[in-house]
Chains A and B, each alone.
Chain A
Amino acid sequence: MPDPAPSAPEASYPYSGPPALRRPIEDALRRVVDPEVALSIVDVGLVYGVAVDDARVHVRVTMTSAACPVADWIVDELRAELSRVVGPQRSIEAELVWEPPWSTERMSARAKAFMGW
């Protein structure tokens, strides 16, 4: 789907759902910051996809490590931020996925600049 707002920051994940919610959802996900790396989960490239319909928001998210104990905390933050923008009628499903494994190619230009690439 082409991006309806040319000024929107690059999003590294596929989105399906109402175009009006695309930007608020992305902004909400950008507020979820992994404190260990000081970057949002969108910039690190942890969000694999967002699908929205009338009843639910389904987010597929990964972590950089299977040994990461902060995964639940990040998923909780994600749910809290999304609940502020998607309306009370939609349930939020956060699915933790490990395939394909995360790699540095998923990092945004901003993230790479911050990490000195």
Chain B
Amino acid sequence: MEHRAHERARQGLHGLVSPRTALRIAVRGVLTLAIATSLVAGIAGGLLRAGVAWPATVTWLPQAALAHAQLMVCAFLGSVIGVERAVAVKRRWAYATPVAAALSAVAALSGAAAAAAWLQVAAALVFVAVNAVLLSRQQAAHTAWLLAAALAWLTGNTLHARDAAAAAVVPWWFAFLVLTIVAERLEMTRLMRRRRAAAPLLTLLLSALLLACVAGTLALPIAGMLYGAALTGLAAWLLAFDIARRTVRARGLPRYMAVCLLGGYAWLAVSGVAWWATSLGAPARDAALHALALGFVFCMVLAHAPVILPAVAGVKLQFGRVFYAPLAVLHGSLLMRLLLPVWDARALALGAAANAAAIALFAVTVIAAALAWHRRNARAPSPR
């Protein structure tokens, strides 16, 4: 029934635009701009960290480098996931999450670090409430883990706002992303016949991940090893039980999505090993963080953008094989980033630049796919 109200609002765009609709369009425009800013600034900051030279005239760049992780995880992914969940819950107040998360990027880039941090806390607080509503609507394992993901984000953001060390904050931020993705996949695994050990095994692995976060906050030496083991275990669980192993046999978009997912799970396993190695003193911190963030999380972004963009932004995309190009560049550039610095530390900058190129290529692919859909449907109008 809410859908019909949504349809009426959508139809209103074609006729007279009410002030409320105009406000919604304005908010959507500002939000899109702020999300894009957080992504671009987050990447630019990451490049500076990796040693890519930038002209000194870009005044916000030092802030972007300083805030790289929070720009990527809290501002960009936090707002994207926030929008996704707000669309699902269909409550207007739920959009406070992406608005606060995206605005935190603007605050961080203008040097207001404390304001940025507390905006992220506010975003996560609303996000916890959103997920509590979803859990009350559907009491299932995946909705419970989505709430746990929101609580992990809130914990990480609160620690960050209270100036905790990065080693304490970052595991919570990644736990937010990993729990979110695993919970969403868990919902899908219901379509496959579940083996008896799958559910308790997943509870064990996700609990280990959260325990490792607590251990990290308390600066216990076991934290990194436990976190890495949990990540690799989760990768094995996903490879064994996710429907991607089935849907990869389909064609078109479902196959592309499955290829992205399976590649992402492989990077999750790599990240777990690197995290573990880092805790033993190996110089693998960059590999641990970026196999997880770029390999696992961005593979999920690439997988879901063709279905999430139409769902949340009304932007339809013409899917084609060209979508495999940015995916291939992402995998290749990540291999470069992880392997080349073994021989020459300066190669990290090259790998990072190639990572950024993969994301830029994906953005271009999405824009081209949206234009292609418009061209095709302008020629052959749908009977709607």
A residues apposed to B, CB below 8 Å: 33, 35-38, 44, 64-73, 75-76, 79-80, 83-84, 88, 93-96, 98, 101, 104, 107, 111, 114-117
For B, the interface residue count at a CB cutoff of 8 angstroms equals: 42
A44-B191, A115-B191, A116-B246 provided; 15 other pairs, C-beta below 8 A?
A36-B257, A38-B247, A66-B137, A67-B85, A67-B88, A67-B142, A69-B85, A71-B3, A72-B3, A72-B311, A73-B307, A80-B384, A94-B3, A104-B191, A117-B192
- Say how far B326's CB is from chain A's closest CB, in angstroms: 18
A98-B307 contact in complex given A35-B257, A104-B191, A117-B193, C-beta closer than 8 Å = no
Nearest A residue to B256 by beta-carbon distance?
A: A35
Q: For A67, give its contact among B143, B255, B257, B308 (CB under 8 Å).
A: B143
Closest 9 CB pairs of A and B: A38-B254, A38-B250, A66-B138, A73-B311, A38-B247, A66-B137, A65-B187, A69-B87, A69-B84
Kindly state the separation between the CA atoms of A44 and B191 in the bound complex, as whole angstroms: 8
A72-B87 contact in complex given A65-B142, A95-B1, C-beta closer than 8 Å = yes
Chain B residues, CB < 8 A from A71: 3, 88, 311
Chain A residues, CB < 8 A from B1: 95-96
Contact B311 A115 (CB under 8 A): no
Q: Please, could you name 22 A-B residue pairs with CB atoms under 8 Å apart, sorted by A?
A: A36-B188, A36-B257, A37-B188, A38-B246, A64-B187, A64-B191, A66-B143, A67-B138, A67-B184, A68-B187, A69-B311, A70-B311, A71-B3, A73-B310, A75-B3, A80-B383, A83-B382, A83-B384, A93-B4, A96-B1, A115-B191, A115-B192
B residues apposed to A, CB below 8 Å: 1-4, 6, 84-85, 87-89, 134, 137-138, 140, 142-143, 146, 184, 187-188, 190-193, 243, 246-247, 250, 253-255, 257-258, 306-308, 310-312, 382-384
Contact B253 A35 (CB under 8 A): yes
- Say how far A27's CB is from chain B's closest CB, in angstroms: 15
Contact A116 B88 (CB under 8 A): no
Contact A37 B243 (CB under 8 A): yes
Kindly state the separation between the CA atoms of A107 and B84 in the bound complex, as whole angstroms: 26
Chain A residues, CB < 8 A from B143: 65-67
Contact B85 A115 (CB under 8 A): no
Chain A residues, CB < 8 A from B254: 33, 35-38
Kindly state the separation between the CA atoms of A60 and B384 in the bound complex, as whole angstroms: 20
Chain B residues, CB < 8 A from A107: 191
Q: For A83, give its contact among B6, B146, B383 (CB under 8 Å).
A: B383
Chain B residues, CB < 8 A from A68: 88, 187
Nearest A residue to B4 by beta-carbon distance?
A: A93
Kindly state the separation between the CA atoms of A36 and B300 in the bound complex, as whole angstroms: 12
A72-B250 contact in complex given A35-B257, A35-B307, C-beta closer than 8 Å = no
- Say how far A53's CB is from chain B's closest CB, in angstroms: 18
Kindly state the separation between the CA atoms of A70 and B193 in the bound complex, as whole angstroms: 23
Chain A residues, CB < 8 A from B3: 71-72, 75, 94-96
Kindly state the separation between the CA atoms of A80 and B383 in the bound complex, as whole angstroms: 7
Nearest A residue to B130 by beta-carbon distance?
A: A67
Contact A104 B190 (CB under 8 A): yes
Nearest B residue to A61 by beta-carbon distance?
A: B3
Kindly state the separation between the CA atoms of A80 and B332 in the bound complex, as whole angstroms: 39
Chain A residues, CB < 8 A from B142: 65, 67
